[in-house]
Every structure is written in structure tokens, then in C-alpha cells.
Amino acid sequence: MDIICIVEDNQVILEGITTYLELSGFAVKPFSTLGAARIFLLHTAPDLLILDVMLPDGDGFAFARSIRRSVQFPIIFLTARDSESDRIMGFELGADDYIVKPFSPKELVMRVRAILRRIDKTPLTGKAAESKWQSQGVTLAMDRGKHTLTIDSRSIELTAAEWRILEYMIDNSDIVVTREQILEHCLDYAFDVSDRIADTHIKNIRAKLGPSQWIKTIRGYGYSFQAENIREPS
């Protein structure tokens, strides 16, 4: 059973989310302060964290920044802060989704399930479990079965959203991938959101992959994965 950790200081919202997620088959660990959640996270890694931003004992953005240094479980920000700059900030910090209050509990559960599907470690039918790519003498290896990514044998930790985007771009390395395609196919956004969310994820992926030119910007269109596929001898 997947464990969902929630940090939300509004007791009505906290109890409502907890009940709805439990009825949907999740084990829920609810907290109303960052301090209590931090103690829990020191000993347990949940499958997903739902995090408010404005909390009585601190800022959710700062909290996410601090834990992202050592953990990679998915994070959903659930907040009343609805400006584009706040959304971009959330994704820059490695969030997998950003939901603005008021919200639909049914949509929240759908978002949780979508994110957990993204990190399913089972290889997709018809796709190679392992693939290797080279750019400027550097080798990138993706193992879908083990859900690992390495650059010259150095382990790279991606968030669930970042993994899905890179995987999609590798699978479509022969074409230009638009921002709209990234939002729809990788982040499950079927409604109007800023293209800057896709740009922010790409920026984060580039930073983690290093200086080699793995992802090229095609101005006015989108992005293209630029690398040579290394095929293992049969």
C-alpha cells in the first residue's frame, strides 16, 4: 500500500484529504506542522508528499528545497498561492505537480495516481529496458527496469516528472518535442497551463545531466534529444 504524507495546517482540509485518500486505498500520514513532518521523514520515506506552502512553522518551498538534497520521492504542492511565479518556483524546486486551492479531491487523487504511475519500475511493453546514448564523449545509460540513470557511471537522481520527460524525449529522439506535448504526455496536463512549466523541468534536467548538449532548444518549436544511440553487440 502506497504511503502518502500530507502537511497542511487547515484541519478541515487535512481531514478531508486524509479521508478521501484512505477511501481510495492509500495509507496516509497527516501532519499540521513542518516540524512534525520532518521528524517522520527522518525515519520513513513515503511514496509521495503533499505539501502546503504557507505553514505556521515555516515555508513549504524552503522545506522542499531542504529535503530535495537527500530524497527523491514525488512532491505535490497544494496551496492558495496561484501566481505564475509561485508555480514556476514550485517546479524549480523539483515539484512533480502544483495544485491550487480550492481544488477537487477527486482530481487530487487522480494526480497522485498519475504521479505514482510515472515511477512504476516495470519496463513498458515494446521498449528496451536498457539504452545507452553518447554526446560529446559522455555516455548516458537509462535502465527502465531498475529505474536508474547514469552519466559515465555516475548516478543521476531525477524526480518522477523529470524521469518521464527525459524518457519521452529519448523515445522521440528523431523528432522535435513541443512544450504542449511535454505537458500533455509527461505531466498529464490536459488544460491550459503556462509553457514555462515545461521549460522549468527541462532546465532542471539539463542541470542534472551536466554540460554535454543532451537537449537542444529548437527556438519557436520545442526541444530535441541530441545524442547517438549506442547499441550493444548482439
- pLDDT for 234: 44
* Set of cell numbers at residue 96: 512533480
In the Cβ-directed half-sphere of 26, how many Cα atoms lie within 13 Å?
A: 25
Nearest residue to 8 via CA among 44, 71, 56: 56
**Amino acid, res. 16:** G
Tell me how far CA of residue 32 lies from CA of 9, 69, 76, 81, 210, in angstroms. Answer: 4, 23, 16, 18, 38
Cross-strand pairs, 23:
none
- pLDDT for 154: 92
Q: What values do phi and psi take at 142, rounded to 5?
A: -115, 125
Domains within the chain, CATH numbers bracketed: 3-118 (3.40.50.2300), 130-230 (1.10.10.10)
Note the Cα 203 to chain centre separation in Å.
13
- pLDDT for 52: 96
**Amino acid, res. 1:** M
**Amino acid, res. 47:** D
- pLDDT for 122: 46
Question: Can you list the positions of beta strands (E) in 162-227?
Answer: 177-178, 215-218, 222-225
Please tell me whether residue 204 adopts helix, strand or coil conformation. Answer: helix
With residue 66 as reference, give the H or E element that holds it: helix 60-67
- pLDDT for 114: 82
**Ramachandran region, residue 41 (left: φ > 0; alpha: ψ -120 to 50; beta: rest):** alpha
- pLDDT for 126: 47
In the Cβ-directed half-sphere of 189, how many Cα atoms lie within 13 Å?
A: 20
Would you write out the chain's pLDDT as a tens digit for each of its 234 residues?
A: 899 999 999 999 999 999 999 999 999 999 999 999 999 998 888 999 999 999 999 999 999 988 887 777 899 999 999 888 898 898 888 888 899 999 888 889 988 988 887 766 444 444 557 889 999 889 999 998 888 899 998 999 888 888 889 999 999 987 899 988 888 778 765 444 567 888 889 999 999 998 888 999 988 889 999 898 887 544
Question: Kind of pairing, strands 177-178 and 154-155?
Answer: unpaired
- pLDDT for 10: 95
User: Which residue has 513532518 as its cell numbers?
Assistant: 37
Cross-strand pairs, 154:
151
